[in-house]
Amino acid sequence: MKIPDHLKIFLSGSLISIGGNLIFGFLNYFTRRTMAVTLSEVQYGCFYGVFALISIILVFLDLGVTDAGTVLISENPGRRKTIYFTLWKWKAAVGCLCTVILLCFSPLISQTYLHGQGMLMMVFLAIYTAFQALNGTFISYTMGRKQYQIKSLFQIIKAIFVLVMVWFFSPIYGAAGAALGYLLATIIIEPCHIGWVCKHESGTKMESFDKDLAKRTFSLIGAVAAITSIQALILHMNSLMLMVLQGSKSTAVFNIAAPITQLILSFLVFANVFLPLAVDMVRQKDYIKLRRYAFGFLAVSIVLLPLVFLVIKYSGEFLITFLFKASYAKEAATPLLLLMLGFMLYSFGSFMTQILVAMQKLKALLWISGLTVLVNLILNYVLIVKYDVVGAAAATALSYLFFSALAFLFFCRHTNSKPENAAL
């Protein structure tokens, strides 16, 4: 039986991304372990408290450009160079402006949010924001061209730079050294991104970003910006609110469980791989294939959830002790279990997001995301106050369950009305 071309691309892209994410996950783990061992619990918690804040700012700065750029480059293969550099210039401008603002407010953030600590760390991460903002344009380029192996390769190279520099600087300068490591790695990798694009688009002329392309860009960016910003709030809100409500020690415990979750679930990368394929299927009005992928991913998630629960329930403390330190084992075990289940649900919700973006159901996705972030804020506040780190993890898992269910139900309702599905 011949495998359809779209399925070949999806499977090969997924396997490449899985391999890349596993390597990236291990490098990220070693970076965090280096910091957990060399930094005090307070310094480690402060770093990830600030990093959560910077991550939220970066998603708001992205303005939906990364996902929109993936769709634009997939739709306009002859204008990839124009799209890449136009979006790059825009991100450079907003990134620099944000960095200036953060530098102005760094003393205030250090005194209030960090309780008088981490001023130099804050300065380095403020500058890091400008360079990291550029990273999404290269992701758009490689994902739009279905060059999954190149995206993974550059992510791994950057992660190696981060690990080496954090390993070198954090024992000397503490949390400020870790921040310096992230900054330098981000500065080094960006010329490599530009060089790769220039080399592979050398035969393409730069054109003007005409009205039609600009209109399409803003139609995608408007809703996608709000959706991705809202989803990023859910992803990083727990560390932010833990820092505010419980302090740096609770934030440190949470960020022991989080990298283990990301490492173990590195294979759940299907959503990012699927976006350009979903765009092709929607263009062809092939909703039968879309439904098969959606229901297939749902079936896999339902099978994996109880397996993940049993494995982590009985091995969580061992994993934490083995990968980090025994002193974190008891406190981080339950958050690890809840985060594992939550990120499984996040992966399914992210998969449905890509389908709805490809179908241009952005208003519905915006409403779903808005309701989810409201639920997440309420759950985070109530559960963190009562259950501390466990409450933060529980809020994350319940929020992703809420989002995934709403997104899937909307997709089913919409595609059931399509005449192309009569054969189902």
Q: DSSP readout, 205-259?
A: ------HHHHHHHHHHHHHHHHHHHHHHHHHHHHHHHHHHHT-HHHHHHHHHHHH
Number of other residues whose CB lies within 10 A of the CB of residue 300: 15
pLDDT at res. 336: 92
CB atoms near residue 207 (< 10 Å): 13
What's the pTM value of the predicted model, to 2 decimals? 0.74
- Residues ≥6 apart with Cβ < 8 Å to 375: 398, 399, 402
| pLDDT for the residue numbered 197 | 92
Q: Contact 145/200 with Cβ under 8 angstroms? A: no
* Whole-number pLDDT of residue 231: 65
* Chain mean position to CA 367: 20
Q: What is the pLDDT of residue 424?
A: 36
The C-alpha angle with vertex 29 and arms to 27 and 35, in degrees rounded to 5, equals: 105
Q: Give the Cα separation of 276 and 264 in Å (integer).
A: 26
Give the closest residue to 275 by CA, choosing from 355, 159, 199. 355
- What's the pLDDT at 238? 84
pLDDT of residue 367: 86
The pLDDT of residue 423: 37
CA distances, 265 to each of 81, 219, 258, 270, 391 (Å): 34, 33, 11, 11, 21
Strand extents, DSSP E, 40-139: none
What pLDDT, on a 0 to 100 scale, did the predictor assign at position 283? Answer: 74
pLDDT of residue 421: 45
Dig out the tokens for 377 from the structure. Answer: 């804020």
Per-residue confidence in pLDDT tens, the chain, 424 aa: 455 555 565 556 556 666 777 788 788 889 988 998 899 888 998 898 899 889 888 877 877 778 778 878 888 888 888 889 988 998 999 999 999 999 999 998 888 888 777 899 999 999 999 999 998 899 989 988 878 788 888 989 999 999 999 999 999 999 999 999 999 999 999 999 999 999 988 877 777 777 777 777 777 676 666 666 666 677 778 888 888 888 888 888 888 888 788 766 555 555 555 656 676 777 777 778 788 888 888 898 899 899 989 999 999 899 888 888 888 888 899 999 999 998 888 888 888 887 887 787 878 888 888 898 899 999 999 999 999 999 999 999 999 999 999 989 998 888 775 544 433 3
